[in-house]
Amino acid sequence: MRRSIATLLTLSVSALALAVPAYAQTAATPPVADPVPGATAQDGVPDDSPENTIVVTGTRAANRTVADSAVPIDVISSEQLSTSGLGETNKILNTLVPSFNFPQPSIADGTDVIRPASLRGLAPDQTLVLVNGKRRHVTALINVNGTVGRGSAAVDLNSIPALAIERVEVLRDGAASQYGSDAIAGVINIQLKRANHGGKASVSYGKYVTTLDGVPELSAVTLGLDPNDARVLAATYSGERKARDGDLWTIGANLGVPIGPGFLNVTAEYRDRDNTNRAGYDIRPQYNRTSTTAPFDPREATFNRLSFEFGDPRTEDYTIFANAGMPIGDFELYSFASYARRDGRSAANYRFSGQQPNNRDYSVLAPSATPSNANFVPLRPDGFLPFIASELRDYSIAVGLKGDIGGFKSDLSVVYGNNRFDYRTENSLNASFGPASKSSFDSGGLQFGQLTANLDLSQEFEVGFAKPLTLAFGGEYRDENFKIRPGEVQSYAAGPFFVAAQTTTAANCSTQGGVYTTASGICSFPGRQAPVGAQGFPGFPASAATDASRHSYAGYAELDTDIFAGFTVTAAGRYEHFSDFGDTWNGKLAARFEVVDGFAIRGSVSNGFRAPSLHQQFFTTTSTNFIAGLPVDISTLPVSSAVARALGSQPLKPEKSLNYSLGATANPFRGFNLTADYYHIKIDDRIVLTENLGAAGSGTTAVNTAVKAILDANGFQSVGAARFFINGLDTTTEGFDVVGTYRFGIGGLGNWSLSAAYNHNTNSIDRRINALGPLAQIPNLILFGRVEGIRFTDGQPKDKLVLSADGSVGDFGISAKTTRYGKVIAPGAAAPTSNALSLTDYGPDDLFLEPKWISDLEVRYTFKEHATFAFGANNLFDVYPTAFPKGNRPASVGGQYPISNYYIPYTGFSPFGFNGRFLYGRFTAQF
């Protein structure tokens, strides 16, 4: 592997020195600044209209346009990507593609910094991402907390700056037979700019200017409990909380230069984003009281109640992309490369002064002493807010050679990508080390590398059809590696103030200062039960050290032609072998028939697969999750571990899919295009992360007790719960997309583009594969329960509508967009009141997010064709998602809402985030 990487790097450096180009197309394309390869305007129809825009995703036939594609494809231009102040590619695509979803969770460890996106409501790792037609590597981070995309490792689209992108092609159809693993929901192909002259430099600044909806402004607290909710102090409020934060600077430049007959196109971007904070006020008593009748600590009156940080983390990004190429005789040598660095700092949950046991100083207790409020001494007098500092380093380099060999168009390429994600836990402590605990910890890190080699061949044959028959075939070899680097000892180890209970003699127990129970022979240490690990993010333990690899090889063939005028057929087949689970065969058939001029029907059927990732097979760590407002240490275990085996784990199998689609297209007049497509995706053996087995909120008390007994018996006494990956579900996803565009000019009123796009999507669970194995004797144990089920079926919008208008009149331009996000349900931990064991009923704390309209507006002025000033607003009307209710539940339900609803007012399931209105300005110079 190292030799392959070294050879690749040597070839890449040499290639870049020669200014070698990159092409996503199978067909050769001259290395010039042509934004739409092969397109020509016809009778005033814009060059970027569907009937002119040639696509290279989903087909290997040359000159296939969006309008005559047999499968649905969205094409997002560089101009569309640039008319936003958001600065993140994922956020921009979320406002442009109706089937694309990008929630923005907070207090979710590394997921705060690398947020996954999804297509058609499926998992983030079920969409394949290509750059210049080549497979992009995923991140080392796997999302294991309670967010959309839980259990998946995805490509970090935010590491690809919009300024480097010529266009994005989104194939909304299964394509595993053409591209291999992961292409179940579809394919996103990002094509880099390849201009050989000119460039663009851009500077933008923006910040959030917002009023939080549903979060009152705190005036004061009194030293007494609220008569309506005895968990919190009595408080007075005035108006709603305002925020002015999240300052975002983005500075970037793109430059194309000719080098002989070739080109070099380079993009560099710097992005500096300050954190946002949408937390509510924490009005819980913060300081210890020796008893329930003791007076409150006077510091309660002056404590800063905005102690939590809930919102976007602080991040600083440096990114560079290079795309280069040069003809060499009858061949084209090409290369593209990227480097990205992101330093992030996100907050964990605040540990208040009197919080037990997290802030207790166990060194003042004897091993046999029972902790109580009366003997409580804090380690940090005023509490502390742990921070998770992250360092992301990502690079990729590709080298390829393209040209004709014996009449076949050939493309030989090698790509290597590497993503490294390191953690540092700051302003924290490991309570089991007591006063000797450090406050900052190297918590270890993750690393993922991927080497991919492809050989693609294609040729057109005249066989008497309306168009030549394109035969394409080729092969792929891929080698992957996943590593876990343990943190420093104090970040994960049990210090002297945690001692596990043990079976021993009464005399030995007395010597150790423990409490001996004669009936069981167990010696316990109530005064030595301090939490273990750095709080906020415990480090990866030494036992988690991982260096796992696998390889695969594949062969494919594809046929594409118009059998007769207006009837297009594409057929593809693929065989792939993985070293860790074996073989898979996949095929696809797609067709398009133009019934009359300007109206066509199209459809496809395919089967596909997604291989279990190395992350899912080998990831292991322990982290603190807050469930029902309470901290629980949860171990994520590899499926091969002894504890996971004891809890019922099995070797993972690949996911298998069956995709159907049927649609229609209409082009009744030039400039107007309308498509409608229905899809049905059946997936068996979906890989999911189990419930937090043993944790409150994930099962009955009897179930949790039984699971905890297994954890204790296997040496995990300090762990409150455990989880692992399983092939746990058979599911069905179905829905439809409708996309309409109209491009036109109106004399002196300029050129305009109007679009409307709608997606309706449903996810359903056909079967829970509850393979309990040795846990079958525990009644009511469910590996994938209600909370995870609702997150899967209802955690993303049922529908999404995007309306947009872009136009220019002389030197002035405008972009207006409004997006309606449909209903979302964020599941709470509390079981349904009518049937606590139901896997489908809603619970009293489930939050139903109402549909919301989010509107964006940008106006521009271009001075002498080279300098553009833009001003705009994202979320112009300052819309927020539905806030969590607080205090007492309705009398018909009884009980109280989670205490965390006071200081965590919104859910991370909101499809448009929860930051409010963002105002920005941008200056762009073109040359």
What are residue 67's phi and psi, to 5 degrees?
-65, -35
Query: How many whole angstroms separate alpha carbon 169 and alpha carbon 64?
Result: 13
For 139-156, what is the mean pLDDT? Answer: 90
Predicted confidence (pLDDT) per residue in 558-569, tens digit? 999 999 999 999
User: How would you label 876-887 residue by residue, b for 16+ Cβ within 10 Å and e otherwise?
Assistant: bebbbbbbbebe
pLDDT band at residue 717 using 50, 70 and 90 as cut-offs: low
pLDDT band at residue 98 using 50, 70 and 90 as cut-offs: confident
Residue (of 103, 104, 106, 102) closest to 900 by Cα position? 106
For 816-833, what is the mean pLDDT? Answer: 94
Q: What is the pLDDT of residue 40?
A: 36
Residue 246, Ramachandran bin (φ over 0: left; ψ between -120 and 50: alpha; else beta): left
User: What Å distances lie between residue 331 and 257, 292, 455, 625, CA to CA?
Assistant: 20, 82, 15, 55
pLDDT band at residue 60 using 50, 70 and 90 as cut-offs: confident
Q: At a CB cut-off of 8 Å and minimum separation 6, what does 340 contact?
A: 156, 159, 317, 318, 319, 320, 392, 393, 394, 395
Query: How many whole angstroms separate alpha carbon 210 and alpha carbon 879?
Result: 9
For 573-599, what is the mean pLDDT? Answer: 94
Q: Report how many helices (DSSP H) and strands (DSSP E) the chain contains, helices first.
A: 10, 37
CA dihedral of 869, 872, 874, 876, whole degrees rounded to 10: 180
Q: What is the pLDDT of residue 58?
A: 73
Q: What is the pLDDT of residue 545?
A: 94
Q: What is the pLDDT of residue 30?
A: 34
Q: What is the pLDDT of residue 302?
A: 95
SS3 assignment, position 566: coil
User: What Å distances lie between residue 380 and 358, 534, 535, CA to CA?
Assistant: 10, 14, 13
Predicted confidence (pLDDT) per residue in 223-264, tens digit? 999 999 999 999 999 999 999 999 999 999 999 999 999 999
For 707-729, what is the mean pLDDT? Answer: 80
Whole-model pTM over 0.85: yes
pLDDT exceeds 50 at position 41: no
pLDDT band at residue 703 using 50, 70 and 90 as cut-offs: confident
Residues in the chain: 927
pLDDT band at residue 472 using 50, 70 and 90 as cut-offs: very high
What are residue 147's phi and psi, to 5 degrees?
-125, 165
What are residue 184's phi and psi, to 5 degrees?
-85, -50
Residue (of 94, 96, 40) closest to 739 by Cα position? 96
- 172 versus 625: the higher-pLDDT residue is 172
- 473 versus 115: the higher-pLDDT residue is 473
Q: Could you tell me if 335 and 20 are in contact, meaning their C-beta atoms sit under 8 angstroms apart?
A: yes
Beta bridge partners of 603: 591, 662
pLDDT band at residue 608 using 50, 70 and 90 as cut-offs: very high
User: What Å distances lie between residue 602 and 68, 115, 464, 693, 878, CA to CA?
Assistant: 9, 34, 23, 46, 41
SS3 assignment, position 405: strand
**Domains assigned to the chain:** 24-190 (2.170.130.10), 199-495+530-926 (2.40.170.20)
Q: What is the pLDDT of residue 631?
A: 54
Note if the bond before 832 is cis, omega within 30 degrees: no
pLDDT exceeds 90 at position 622: no
Predicted confidence (pLDDT) per residue in 854-869, tens digit? 999 999 999 988 999 9
Q: Strands 630-636, 721-723: parallel, antiparallel or unpaired by DSSP?
A: parallel
pLDDT exceeds 70 at position 760: yes
Predicted confidence (pLDDT) per residue in 286-340, tens digit? 999 999 999 999 999 999 999 999 999 999 999 999 999 999 999 999 999 999 9
DSSP letters of 62-105? TT-BSTT-SS-EEEEEHHHHHS-S---HHHHHHTT-TTEE----
pLDDT band at residue 11 using 50, 70 and 90 as cut-offs: very low
Q: What is the pLDDT of residue 574?
A: 97
User: What Å distances lie between residue 94 and 74, 104, 820, CA to CA?
Assistant: 13, 11, 12
Residue 555 Cα to chain centre, angstroms: 30
pLDDT band at residue 26 using 50, 70 and 90 as cut-offs: very low
Q: What percent of the chain has pLDDT over 90?
A: 73
Query: How many whole angstroms separate alpha carbon 743 and alpha carbon 755?
Result: 9
What are residue 395's phi and psi, to 5 degrees?
-145, 155
For 200-214, what is the mean pLDDT? Answer: 97
pLDDT exceeds 60 at position 474: yes
Max Cα separation, the chain?
98
Q: What is the pLDDT of residue 23?
A: 32
Q: What is the pLDDT of residue 698?
A: 63
User: What Å distances lie between residue 608 and 266, 530, 654, 683, 702, CA to CA?
Assistant: 36, 49, 10, 9, 41
Residue (of 396, 464, 409, 529) closest to 129 by Cα position? 396
Residue 890 Cα to chain centre, angstroms: 35
Query: How many whole angstroms separate alpha carbon 558 and alpha carbon 572?
Result: 4
pLDDT exceeds 70 at position 15: no
Query: How many whole angstroms separate alpha carbon 265 and alpha carbon 268?
Result: 10
Q: What is the pLDDT of residue 16?
A: 34
Q: What is the pLDDT of residue 912?
A: 94
Q: What is the pLDDT of residue 526?
A: 94
pLDDT band at residue 144 using 50, 70 and 90 as cut-offs: confident
pLDDT exceeds 60 at position 21: no
Beta bridge partners of 442: 424
pLDDT exceeds 70 at position 12: no
For 109-114, what is the mean pLDDT? Answer: 88
Token match 């040597």: residue? 10
- 148 versus 85: the higher-pLDDT residue is 148
Q: Could you tell me if 428 and 346 are in contact, meaning their C-beta atoms sit under 8 angstroms apart?
A: no
Predicted confidence (pLDDT) per residue in 880-914, tens digit? 999 999 999 999 999 999 999 999 999 999 999 99
pLDDT band at residue 696 using 50, 70 and 90 as cut-offs: low
Q: What percent of the chain has pLDDT over 70?
A: 92
Token match 């036939």: residue? 61
Query: How many whole angstroms separate alpha carbon 728 and alpha carbon 217?
Result: 45
Q: Could you tell me if 908 and 106 are in contact, meaning their C-beta atoms sit under 8 angstroms apart?
A: yes
Amino acid at 416: Y
Between 39-48, 693-702, 775-784, 811-820, the lowest mean confidence (pLDDT) is in: 39-48
Residue (of 138, 13, 125, 35) closest to 398 by Cα position? 13
pLDDT exceeds 50 at position 122: yes
Q: What is the pLDDT of residue 56?
A: 75
Mean of all residue pLDDT scores within the chain: 89
What is the DSSP code (8-state) at residue 896? B
Between 21-25, 320-324, 689-693, the lowest mean confidence (pLDDT) is in: 21-25
